Amino acid sequence: MATYRIAVLPGDGIGQEVIPEAIRVLEAVGKGTGAAFEFERGLVGGAAIDATGAPLAPGTLELCRASHAILFGAVGGPKWDDVPHEQRPERGLLAIRKELDLYANLRPAKCFPMLVDASPLKRQVVEGTDLMVIRELTGGLYFGEPRGVERFADGGARAINTMAYTSREVERIARIGFEVARKRRRRLTSVDKVNVLVVSQLWREVVTRVGREYPDVTLDHMLVDNCAMALVHRPTQFDTIVTENTFGDILSDEAAILAGSMGMLPSASLGGAVGLFEPVHGTAPDIAGKGIANPIAAILSAAMLLRYSLNMTKDADRVDQAVLRVLEGGHRTADIAAAGARPRGTREMGDLIVREVERQY
């Protein structure tokens, strides 16, 4: 049977609390399938700063490179708020993304039927929402050259950022879009601003060309302003969305509110040889150390790891199903509990989901 090496980087705050639950779920999958998971821990973020003086400990990158996938918690917290910019905890995550060429960020937003009322939107709008936003992560406006501020003698100034994409960059993210749509409901919406931006004209041209290789996936195009409205007006019309860096940054956060709580949102960063999987949430200093964080985002990230890095689709489905069953059973952590209900702690929620995963085999 296969052996998979997983680099585990819990980071700081509740990262240290939710990642162990995701590991226990993967161990249950290992027991069920016979696959062997080898977990090796690395230091990143504030934990790495404390131990080594740098946000990415020596050896962590090599560990990631030598693994089949990376399970990441979260980094940062008030303790490291005053360290110099280049030393900040998130530099550790950014360095890993850059070094491993993780150019595609996948963020599913699913509205669980029993949590519909946790969403700020009306039940009839969000019910049935199950979409994926794929954001290009390493190009576009955030990285384009030239960039900078020109100061004028009269006291005025002019600042520049540049949105630039090569056809190669668009092609590779488009391919991820089509491949992911294939694993879902085979509908891809490419989001751009073709009526204004020449970058979007190239984007649309390349996505359309790549689409000819995927006749089984229905492709449509949407303007970003229209998409922003449609996400809160009729989110159920979407399956998979692919878009450039800035648009994706904004749309993926907008889509996040459809799911109700930060504690429910997983993510994946793909591209190079090794994928990175992490909950969307941060280190939650307000609840860290209390054992009450919701481990579901981390556990669903482990399910994405199975699906996208190890191609264990059925096992990923089992984990997703186990989470659904536990929620159907009425179990909730504090962030999603109804007023008056007794909330489950992190470990207790992990126990319930592990037991449900075991029952699926």
Which positions touch ligand NAD (CB under 6 A)? 14, 18, 74-77, 93, 262-263, 281-287, 293-294, 297, 335
Burial zone of 262 (CB within 10 Å; 0-12 exposed, 13-18 middle, 19+ buried): middle
Contact 89, 57 (CB under 8 A): no
Name which of 227 and 334 has its Cβ closer to ligand NAD.
Answer: 334
253 is catalytic: yes
Return d(Cα 161, Cα 202) in angstroms, integer.
19
CB of 151 to ligand NAD, least distance (A): 30
110, 193, 239, 315: which one is catalytic?
193
Name which of 202 and 349 has its Cβ closer to ligand NAD.
Answer: 349
Strand intervals (E) in 77-185: 104-110, 130-136, 144-151, 157-162
Contact 91, 55 (CB under 8 A): yes
CB of 107 to ligand NAD, least distance (A): 12
Return d(Cα 263, Cα 64) in angstroms, integer.
25
In 3D, which of 133, 128, 98, 97 has the Cα closest to residue 115?
A: 128
193 is catalytic: yes
Q: Other C-beta atoms within 10 Å of 60: how many? A: 23
Name which of 192 and 335 has its Cβ closer to ligand NAD.
Answer: 335
4 is catalytic: no
Q: Which residue is nearest to ligand NAD (CB)?
A: 282
Name which of 216 and 286 has its Cβ closer to ligand NAD.
Answer: 286
31, 79, 130, 142: which one is catalytic?
142
CB of 282 to ligand NAD, least distance (A): 2
In 3D, which of 247, 246, 173, 249 has the Cα closest to residue 210?
A: 173
In 3D, which of 18, 17, 14, 11 has the Cα closest to residue 60?
A: 11
Measured CA distances, 62 to 73, 177, 273, 301, 346 (Å): 18, 28, 13, 22, 31
CB of 346 to ligand NAD, least distance (A): 8
CB of 80 to ligand NAD, least distance (A): 8
Burial zone of 25 (CB within 10 Å; 0-12 exposed, 13-18 middle, 19+ buried): buried
50, 117, 220, 253: which one is catalytic?
253
Burial zone of 124 (CB within 10 Å; 0-12 exposed, 13-18 middle, 19+ buried): exposed
50, 81, 220, 225: which one is catalytic?
225
Name which of 116 and 287 has its Cβ closer to ligand NAD.
Answer: 287
Name which of 211 and 263 has its Cβ closer to ligand NAD.
Answer: 263
225 is catalytic: yes
216 is catalytic: no
Q: Which residues contact 326 (CB under 8 A, 6 or more apart)?
A: 349, 352, 353, 356
CB of 47 to ligand NAD, least distance (A): 12
Positions marked active-site: 142, 193, 225, 249, 253
